[in-house]
Amino acid sequence: MGLLEFQSKLKGCRYCRDVLGLKFEPKPLVWGREGARIVVIGQAPSMSAGLCGRPFSKDLETPDASGRRLIEWLGVQERTFFDPDIFYITGVAHCYPGKGKGGDLPPPRVCAEMWLGEELSYLSPRLFVILGRYAASWAFPKRKFEDLVFEELEFRGRTAIVLPHPSPANRGWFKAHPEFAGRLTVLRGLISRALTDSVLCT
């Protein structure tokens, strides 16, 4: 099976409706192509991203607040971030998980167990960008999140960087860790190298 066939199969997944009992129709979000240089692994699509079919977006033209901040962190143009030949964007969950009392529900881990590992097996990026605690705990089990944010890392044999989730709701974390601003220079250097390197190291 190739990536396109896998993505088609993933889009047909209805596990959250049929087994977990979610009250709305699942709509797995897939974004990116096999040769993408950078893979972003996030938490789960927002409701708006799930509805419009574009990650980190209010609609097909407008990034959401998290998307705008992430694009700024990365130091790239919006058109570059949403270019599926450059950025492959996925998550611990591929569908919007629903609303809880304190915000969106956590991504169901079963989604990553069913899909994410196989999805990544089709990709050979130059860089992994891992967003937030849920994605970090999946990629680096039993590691302290704050340590991961400030370490030089490898994931699946590739350079990786862990970032806090760019949501405005995460302002408490940013206030508690003002030193994170210094990591943006490191991040942008990694992004620049991933976009300009002509040879993929193995």
Given a cut of 60, is residue 200 above it in pLDDT? no
Q: How open is the CA angle 191-192-196, to the nearest 5 degrees?
A: 120
Could you tell me if 68 and 58 are in contact, meaning their C-beta atoms sit under 8 angstroms apart?
Answer: no
Q: Which of 20-24, 44-48, 152-156 has the lowest mean pLDDT?
A: 20-24
State the chain's mean pLDDT as an integer: 92
- Rg, the chain, Cα only: 16
* pTM exceeds 0.85: yes
Could you tell me if 39 and 33 are in contact, meaning their C-beta atoms sit under 8 angstroms apart?
Answer: no
Given a cut of 80, is residue 148 above it in pLDDT? yes
Positive or negative CA dihedral for 172, 173, 177, 182? negative
According to the model, what pLDDT value does residue 202 have?
A: 36
Given a cut of 50, is residue 171 above it in pLDDT? yes
Pair of tokens at residue 6? 């896998």
Could you tell me if 37 and 125 are in contact, meaning their C-beta atoms sit under 8 angstroms apart?
Answer: yes
Write the CA distances from 8 to 20, 28, 45, 52, 142, integer angstroms: 21, 10, 18, 17, 33
Please report, as a single letter, which amino acid is at residue 186: V
Mean pLDDT of 95-114: 85
According to the model, what pLDDT value does residue 103 have?
A: 73
The whole-angstrom separation of Cα 158 and Cα 169 is 30
SS3 11: helix
The whole-angstrom separation of Cα 163 and Cα 73 is 10
Please report, as a single letter, which amino acid is at residue 153: L
Q: How much of the chain exceeds pLDDT 90, in percent?
A: 80
Nearest CA to 39 out of 156, 133, 198, 150 is that of 156
The whole-angstrom separation of Cα 88 and Cα 126 is 11
DSSP state of 57: B
Q: How much of the chain exceeds pLDDT 70, in percent?
A: 95
According to the model, what pLDDT value does residue 199 have?
A: 45
Please report, as a single letter, which amino acid is at residue 119: E
According to the model, what pLDDT value does residue 106 have?
A: 87
Mean pLDDT of 171-192: 96
User: What is the set of domains in the chain, with CATH numbers?
Assistant: 3-196 (3.40.470.10)
